[in-house]
Amino acid sequence: MNMNEENKLKTEASGHEAANVKPAGISRRKMIGALGVATAAFLVSGKSIFAATTLTDNLKLKRTTPIDVTDVNENFTRIDSEFGNRAVSPDYYKVGTGFDDTDCVQAAFDSGKPVIFTRNYNVKSVKMTGSDQNIDFNGYWLFGISESTDTEEMRDCVLTISGLYLNLYNIRVGAGFKPYKCGIHWVSISASRPAEHIKVYGLQVNRCLVGIQYGAYLDDSNPLDAPQSENFIYGIHFRAVQNCLILNQPNGILKIIGGLFDCGPSEWDTVPSSPYSAVNAYCFYAKDSVLSIDACEILKVSSTEGYGFKGNNFILTNCSIEIGSTWGYIDGKATITQDDAGYQGGINKNLFEIAPGAEGRLNLNTFFAKRAAGFNSPAYIINGLAAAPRFRVNIDKSYFSEWTANKVTSARRENVYVQNTRFTKVVSGVTYESNINDQDRILNIAASVDTTGENMSTESDTVQKSDWNMYVYTGTGTVYFRKNTTDVPVGFRSCIEVKVTSGISYIYSSKFPVFGGASLVFSGWAKYTTGNSEQKVSVVWVDAANNVVAEDLIVLADLSTTEWGRIVKSVTAPLSAVRASFQIVGSGGSILVTGLGLTAEGDTVERASFINQMNAALDAPGEGFILKSPNNTSYKITVSDAGTLTATAYP
């Protein structure tokens, strides 16, 4: 062969090879097959056209001659196997140049091998069902492309997570405003095949109505009960999502550390006939799962409608919360602690709404919430307790800016326990502050009254017992009051029982001194067996002439026939009041009362001195205290306005 013939043949070979180079979208395996056929065409003469490659044991290539097509393909198979054991790209399974990457992405997930993305992929819907698998999106996106004409399965979600012991990295899912139920559906295959022990390191979901559905959809009347737990997300981000996270997985647990929950409309505003609803938007809804969120931002800033979050069995720790609407709709136990930057934009919206009939406890610890200054708002921190008598709220070491203490709750103050908590409000440029601590209300200015019936007899009659008297107004039939030791709340040894089978009668305590105008808390425990709306417990205020000037009461509607309830009501002594007494009214049944008290609300004159309050309870003139001498004689020590101390034998 002369030089011209050899050059011509090389040129033809190069052209044929170029024609079989893998175009975009053709897998390496397909390319190898094509290369093998082409190469074989040049072996007909038995002469080597160009050097073949043979794989050595350490995967380096050496040049051989003549070329062996079988050997070449086997060597590529070894390369595929070697690198496939490290990671495969969905493009390894890509056939053709089509826009839809569903099949190749699903094949990569199903391979059981580590998967790494090398570009953005467009899919209808794909599932991760493997076990002990690493999948890295490598900074690329999984874009949903399903349309309304696709099957219901293809419109369920862009990505389903149903595997075991998965390590997932840098997940990015964009639903593109397509008609998906959610962006990611994290769901168990069965009760014996739960989607658990999954760690996600970085996750972002964009442009869908529901970002992550954890468990069954809300319209599922019988959600699968599976131990879908030991699941963690480190770093989460939502954008243009109406409902970031919905959890409806019995026996499920999800923990999230770091990230952003934002249920604002964002790009939905540009979508024609947008289905986005601000009323129905919320950052998360923990319907039936345990949810823990730590060090995240919880945002709903574009609307004062609806709620920022909903549900029960959730814990927010060290989160920054900024919500224009009511922060939370609570229907069970929940805890928010270390809220370092809390702001509510809706000045006329209650901060928390308790669901009717809810049972459980809302704990607000080291909690901070602020509103705009200069507005008078009818809103409360807690609303809805009137319809949820079994629900309790604990507020501890917290700070409410632009709130006043009388706005703690719209009903059932006795169900809210406040301690070490500060309230501030700015009025005409002046900041007014109050500090509330229910725990420190140990100074009962009614200490002289037998408020538990401890010193009463158990006789069922109307005669005076300890410092209580009975007035039979229109009572007939069985009418009496007495000490009861068989039906008492936990922590008490006795209570006062008043029984009036027909008509109305009442008992009243001895009077004790009060400061006119003082802010106080009227409290105690009560229940009734039967009776009508006239049954009540009250504090009666009297002036210097012994005239009744006002009455604050707890009516029958606030009491229960089935269990003891603590009654608490903030009251203010009338300016003309100098004394007060307790009154218990019976009407058509029995009413049981114990532990009555009148204590100071915040830092007032009532709390100025424990000694002064003891003497006031003893009805001793002047201010001082009682001491005993070595021979056991009691003396009252008083001080005059001039500062002169006097010791007087007492009593």
Q: What are 186-222's pLDDT values in tens digits?
A: 999 999 999 999 999 999 999 999 999 999 999 998 9
With cut-offs at 50, 70 and 90, classify the pLDDT of residue 627: confident
Query: Between helices 28-41 and 3-19, what is the axis angle to 10°?
Result: 150
In this predicted structure, the answer to whether residue 613 has a pLDDT above a threshold of 60 is no
- Are 148 and 265 contained in the same domain? yes
Give the residue, 436 or 303, on which the prediction is more confident.
303
Give the residue, 648 or 495, on which the prediction is more confident.
495
CA distance 247 to 214: 5
- Are 139 and 279 contained in the same domain? yes
In this predicted structure, the answer to whether residue 227 has a pLDDT above a threshold of 50 is yes
- Are 255 and 314 contained in the same domain? yes
In this predicted structure, the answer to whether residue 574 has a pLDDT above a threshold of 80 is yes
pLDDT at 442: 52
Q: Mapping DSSP to helix (H, G, I), strand (E, B) and coil, where does residue 496 land? A: strand
Q: Mapping DSSP to helix (H, G, I), strand (E, B) and coil, where does residue 528 land? A: strand
Contacts of 83 (CB under 8 A, 6+ apart): none
What residues form DSSP beta bridges with 108?
none
Contact 172, 117 (CB under 8 A): no
With cut-offs at 50, 70 and 90, classify the pLDDT of residue 233: very high
Lowest mean pLDDT among 72-86, 306-320, 461-475: 72-86
CA distance 27 to 32: 9
With cut-offs at 50, 70 and 90, classify the pLDDT of residue 320: very high
Task: Identify the H or E element spanning 234.
Answer: strand 231-262
Q: Mapping DSSP to helix (H, G, I), strand (E, B) and coil, where does residue 308 land? A: strand
Tokens found for residue 146: 């399903």
pLDDT at 517: 85
With cut-offs at 50, 70 and 90, classify the pLDDT of residue 18: very low
Question: HSE of 42 in the Cβ direction (CA atoms, 13 Å)?
Answer: 24
How much of the chain exceeds pLDDT 70, in percent? 80
Give the residue, 122 or 651, on which the prediction is more confident.
122
- Are 172 and 312 contained in the same domain? yes
CA distance 7 to 4: 5
Residue 395, number of CB atoms within 10 A of its CB: 23
Tokens found for residue 50: 């160009």
Nearest alpha-carbon partner for 240 in 213, 204, 198, 279: 204
What average pLDDT score do residues 541-553 get?
90
pLDDT at 73: 61
Task: Identify the H or E element spanning 15.
Answer: helix 3-19
- Summarised one tens digit per residue, pLDDT across range 483-499 is 999 988 877 889 999 99
pLDDT at 70: 60
Residue 462, domain member (yes or no): no
One-letter amino acid for residue 524 of the chain: G
Give the residue, 436 or 38, on which the prediction is more confident.
436
Question: HSE of 387 in the Cβ direction (CA atoms, 13 Å)?
Answer: 9
Q: Which of 296, 325, 354 is where one domain is finished? A: 325
Contact 505, 472 (CB under 8 A): yes
Residue 391, number of CB atoms within 10 A of its CB: 25
- Are 500 and 618 contained in the same domain? no
Q: Which of 325, 345, 379 is where one domain is finished? A: 325
Helices (H), 49-190: 69-86, 102-110
- Are 511 and 636 contained in the same domain? no
How many domains would you assign to the chain?
3
What average pLDDT score do residues 257-262 get?
97
Residue 341, domain member (yes or no): no
Contacts of 285 (CB under 8 A, 6+ apart): 243, 245, 246, 247, 309, 310, 311
pLDDT at 597: 87
Task: Identify the H or E element spanning 240.
Answer: strand 231-262
Residue 21, number of CB atoms within 10 A of its CB: 10
Q: Which of 325, 352, 379 is where one domain is finished? A: 325
Residue 432, domain member (yes or no): no
Mean pLDDT of the chain: 83
The single-letter DSSP state of residue 461 is B
Residue 76, domain member (yes or no): no
Residue 227 structural domain: 113-325
Structure-token match 């190069």, residue found: 14
What average pLDDT score do residues 628-650 get?
78
Torsions phi, psi for 382 (to 5 deg) = -120, 130
- Are 117 and 147 contained in the same domain? yes
pLDDT at 12: 39
Contacts of 388 (CB under 8 A, 6+ apart): 354, 355, 356, 357, 358, 359
- Are 519 and 557 contained in the same domain? yes
Residue 407, domain member (yes or no): no
One-letter amino acid for residue 342 of the chain: G
- Are 481 and 539 contained in the same domain? yes
Residue 472, domain member (yes or no): yes
- Are 265 and 118 contained in the same domain? yes
With cut-offs at 50, 70 and 90, classify the pLDDT of residue 610: very low
- Are 564 and 636 contained in the same domain? no
Q: Where are the beta strands (DSSP E) in 38-174?
A: 52-55, 61-64, 115-116, 121-123, 126-128, 134-136, 142-144, 157-161, 167-174
In this predicted structure, the answer to whether residue 80 has a pLDDT above a threshold of 70 is no
Domain CATH for 497: 2.60.120.260
Backbone φ/ψ region at 262: left (φ over 0), alpha (ψ -120 to 50), beta: beta
Lowest mean pLDDT among 73-87, 166-180, 404-418: 73-87
Lowest mean pLDDT among 335-339, 345-349, 515-519: 515-519
What average pLDDT score do residues 163-176 get?
97
Q: Mapping DSSP to helix (H, G, I), strand (E, B) and coil, where does residue 633 land? A: coil
Residue 446, domain member (yes or no): no
Nearest alpha-carbon partner for 198 in 150, 146, 133: 133
In this predicted structure, the answer to whether residue 6 has a pLDDT above a threshold of 60 is no
- Summarised one tens digit per residue, pLDDT across range 26-44 is 344 433 443 443 443 333 3
In this predicted structure, the answer to whether residue 333 has a pLDDT above a threshold of 70 is yes
Residue 430, domain member (yes or no): no
The verdict on whether omega for the bond into residue 194 sits within 30 degrees of 0, i.e. cis, is no
- Are 499 and 579 contained in the same domain? yes
In this predicted structure, the answer to whether residue 53 has a pLDDT above a threshold of 70 is no
Nearest alpha-carbon partner for 498 in 567, 582, 597, 587: 587
With cut-offs at 50, 70 and 90, classify the pLDDT of residue 19: very low
